[in-house]
């Protein structure tokens, strides 16, 4: 996982596809867009604009992806996200890799939580179990942009 704030420059170069995604996040006014999918580079890099309400941790399912990494960016609101390394010990609750490139787990061992504020982003790789959209204090309306970057574009 990589965590940062969009206003801060990266101290090192990331793969071009990730840099493309971060540039999209830096230069887009998300107040003018409706929820939905925005293609950035076809199906290699695309964004999902989501309006959500956070939920208690126990109501959100931990998840992983295999073909895409997630760059989760918070445009407004506040949330907590759970994070853990996928060591292969979590019980699969639902596997939707073919349809949506996602595996949901029943729980996540050794999970920690961190806070997202407007402008912060987290990059989750296939080994990063993450539990997004959790309440910080109470249920909160958020706008989240999830940029999907094909793992194949990182080679």
- CATH number, domain containing residue 96: 2.60.120.370
pLDDT of the residue at 85: 97
The total of structural domains in the chain comes to: 1
**Residue segments in the chain with a per-residue pLDDT below the cut of 50:** none
Which pLDDT does position 148 carry in this prediction?
98
Q: What pLDDT does 10 receive?
A: 78
C-alpha to C-alpha distance for 85 and 73, rounded to whole angstroms: 20
pLDDT at 11: 77
* pLDDT at site 13: 87
In 97-120, which positions are buried (b, 16+ CB within 10 angstroms) versus exposed (e)? Answer: eeeebbbbbeebeebeeeebeebb
Give pLDDT, residue 58. 96
Structural domain of 69: 2-154
pTM score: 0.95
């Amino acid at each position: 996982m990589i965590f940062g704030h969009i206003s801060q420059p990266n101290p090192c170069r990331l793969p071009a596809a990730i840099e493309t995604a971060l540039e999209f996040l830096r230069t887009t006014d998300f107040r003018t867009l409706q929820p939905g999918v925005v293609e950035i580079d076809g199906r290699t890099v695309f964004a999902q604009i989501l309006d959500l309400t956070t939920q208690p941790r126990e109501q959100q399912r931990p998840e992983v992806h295999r073909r895409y990494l997630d760059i989760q960016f918070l445009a407004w609101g506040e949330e907590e996200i759970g994070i853990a390394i996928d060591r292969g010990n979590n019980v699969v609750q639902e596997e939707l890799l073919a349809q949506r490139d996602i595996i949901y787990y029943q729980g996540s061992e050794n999970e920690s939580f961190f806070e997202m504020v407007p402008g912060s982003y987290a990059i989750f790789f296939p080994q990063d179990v993450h539990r997004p959209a959790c309440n910080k204090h109470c249920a909160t309306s958020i706008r989240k942009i999830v940029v999907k970057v094909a793992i194949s574009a990182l080679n």
